[in-house]
Amino acid sequence: VPPKNLKIMNGIRNSVTLIGFLGQDAKIFQTASGKTVTNISIATNDSYRNKRGDRITTTEWHRCIAWGKLGEIMGDLCKKGKEVAVRGKLTYNSYEDKNGVQRTSPQVVVQEFVLLDRKKMEEAA
């Protein structure tokens, strides 16, 4: 028998939420058909203490892509160092590298985003 709280997750498929910092300004492109596409890279950090008690921080980089009007807005607002929250779906981009090796790269197709202002968040707390 599935747990009762499983009903809460019903209908949510392939959903990713990330909160992190932008590693560079958004890169905006136009496709051959004239659609706007914007790429951003988000860094998320995780910290823990090792056996000696030293704080260890690891950083993961996440490639994100936004299309159309959302991509245009993100292109204008997403600048290096800003904190951002994104929600979207995880996809995999296949490509051939310069040596002819087939590679697969994960990326988040952004459906929603929010720029976060740490100072305002701290003032509200």
Statement: residue 48 has pLDDT above 90 = yes
Statement: residue 4 has pLDDT above 80 = no
Statement: residue 12 has pLDDT above 80 = no
Residue 119's alpha-carbon distances to 16, 67, 85, 97, 123, in angstroms, are 25, 30, 16, 42, 6
Q: Give residue 2's Cα distance to chain centre.
A: 31
Tens digits of residue pLDDT in 72-117:
999 999 999 999 999 999 999 999 999 999 999 999 999 999 999 8
User: What pLDDT was estimated at residue 51?
Assistant: 94
Contact 109, 39 (CB under 8 A): no
Is residue 122 very low, low, confident or very high in pLDDT (cuts 50, 70, 90)?
low
Statement: residue 125 has pLDDT above 90 = no
Tens digits of residue pLDDT in 22-41:
999 999 999 999 999 999 99
User: What pLDDT was estimated at residue 80?
Assistant: 96
Mean pLDDT of 12-27: 93
Q: What domains appear along the chain, each with residue ranges and CATH number?
A: 14-124 (2.40.50.140)
Q: Which residue has the higher pLDDT, 8 or 19?
A: 19
Secondary structure letter of residue 58 according to DSSP: E
The total of other beta-carbon atoms located within 10 Å of residue 66's CB is 27
Statement: residue 121 has pLDDT above 80 = no
